[in-house]
DNA sequence: TAAGTTTGTTACCAAAAGTAACAGTGACAA
DNA sequence: TTGTCACTGTTACTTTTGGTAACAAACTTA
């Protein structure tokens, strides 16, 4: 008669918060989720990303890409074209974040409708 | 014969990235998602949050709470108990983020299993 | 030779996050 | 009545992260 499973147990809450903290460590910063979403659509080169992700700077982009590569969410491949191009591609593991990016994007679209009004 | 709907169209990708950018502006920083998730379980006081969200500092917590309040995701209510206590509660709108926090937490749990191994 | 493309890096500055100590109010205990 | 505790923050300071602009190396095209 001590623990009749309180609503959401304290343990469950703590576990959830810990899990979220883990994720936010990997996806920290303003840009990583956008980069991953972009690469989930298709692989891209450095300059493509620079153009598609509006507002990111070259320096930040290359650092974020390194971080994501270290965490095995994307791969970096140098093609011996002329001039050399570099392709960034989502890994199979990175692609498991697709649902995360989708849910975030969906909420963002609703939010925009709510805040900015129609359209 | 010009636009037979390329795979994911450029427009769709741009729209997604814009939406994600909007969300990351609101949920920027390491802590906001954790705070929201915690408050989705049930309302809490300042010190509760400080204790449950491991690693956050008082200063950061109070700033994040202010940000979330400005964005109408949570409410702040001063109760005239002795001593005064302050209750933070998720708003109806904030609760629409529940799915986002759930998906993130789920991914985090899987990630932990993968990286750290069992358990 | 000059200018452009591609993938970055470097040096510098600004903004955000983190740390630790403190403050004001009241309760409670000796 | 004096000291200690709980609660909700704030202040001053340091560290980390983000942003800007210029540059670099290698090759192509005019």
Residue A98's pLDDT is what? Answer: 97
Closest by alpha carbon to A64, among A105, A30, A91, A19? A30
Residue B92's pLDDT is what? Answer: 97
Options 3.50.50.60, 1.10.10.10, 1.20.1180.10, 3.40.50.300; which CATH number does A32-116 get? 1.10.10.10
DSSP characters over B32-98: HHHHHHHHHH--EEHHHHHHHSTT--HHHHHHHHHHHHHTTSEEEEEE--SS-EEEEEE-HHHHTTH
Closest by alpha carbon to B34, among B59, B52, B60? B52
Distance CA B88, CA B78 (A): 9
What are the tens digits of pLDDT across the range B26-43?
Answer: 998 899 999 999 999 999
Residue A104's pLDDT is what? Answer: 97
Task: Kindly list the distances between the CA atom of residue B1 and the CA atoms of A33, B5, B77, B92, in Å, as whole numbers in the listed order.
Answer: 34, 10, 59, 46
Most A CBs within 10 A among B5, B12, B13, B23, hence the mutation to make, goes to B23
* pLDDT band (50, 70, 90) for residue A81: confident
Distance CA B114, CA B119 (A): 10
Residue A57's pLDDT is what? Answer: 93
Distance CA B100, CA B9 (A): 25
Determine contact, residues A33/A27, Cβ cutoff 8 Å: yes
A-chain CB neighbours of B112 within 8 Å are: 19, 22
B-chain CB neighbours of A91 within 8 Å are: none
- Would you call A108 and B23 a contact, using CB atoms and an 8 Å cutoff? yes
Determine contact, residues A52/B13, Cβ cutoff 8 Å: yes
- In chain B, positions 3-42 with C-beta closer than 7 Å to nucleic chain D are none
The DSSP H or E segment spanning A87 is: strand A85-90
What are the tens digits of pLDDT across the range B88-117?
Answer: 999 999 999 999 999 999 999 999 999 877
* pLDDT higher than 80, residue A118: no
Instruction: Return the domain boundaries, chain A.
Output: 32-116
What are the tens digits of pLDDT across the range B52-86?
Answer: 999 999 999 999 999 999 999 999 999 988 788 99
* pLDDT band (50, 70, 90) for residue B2: very low
φ, ψ (nearest 5 deg) of residue B118: -45, -170
Most A CBs within 10 A among B9, B10, B15, B19, hence the mutation to make, goes to B19
Distance CA B51, CA B31 (A): 13
Residues in CB range of B60: below 8 A, 6 or more apart: B29, B31
What is the nearest CA distance from A37 to chain B, expressed in angstroms?
7
* pLDDT higher than 70, residue B4: no
Residue A80's pLDDT is what? Answer: 85
């Amino acid at each position: 008669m001590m623990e009749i499973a309180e609503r959401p147990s304290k343990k469950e809450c703590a576990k959830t918060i810990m899990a979220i903290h883990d994720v936010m460590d990997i996806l920290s910063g303003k840009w990583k989720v956008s980069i991953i979403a972009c690469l989930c659509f298709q692989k891209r080169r450095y300059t493509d990303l620079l153009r598609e992700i509006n507002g990111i700077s070259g320096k930040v982009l290359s650092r974020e890409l390194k971080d994501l590569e270290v965490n095995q969410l994307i791969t970096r491949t140098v093609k011996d074209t002329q001039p050399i191009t570099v392709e960034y591609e989502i890994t199979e593991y990175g692609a498991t974040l697709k649902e995360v990016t989708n849910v975030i994007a969906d909420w963002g679209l609703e939010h925009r409708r709510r805040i900015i009004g129609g359209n």
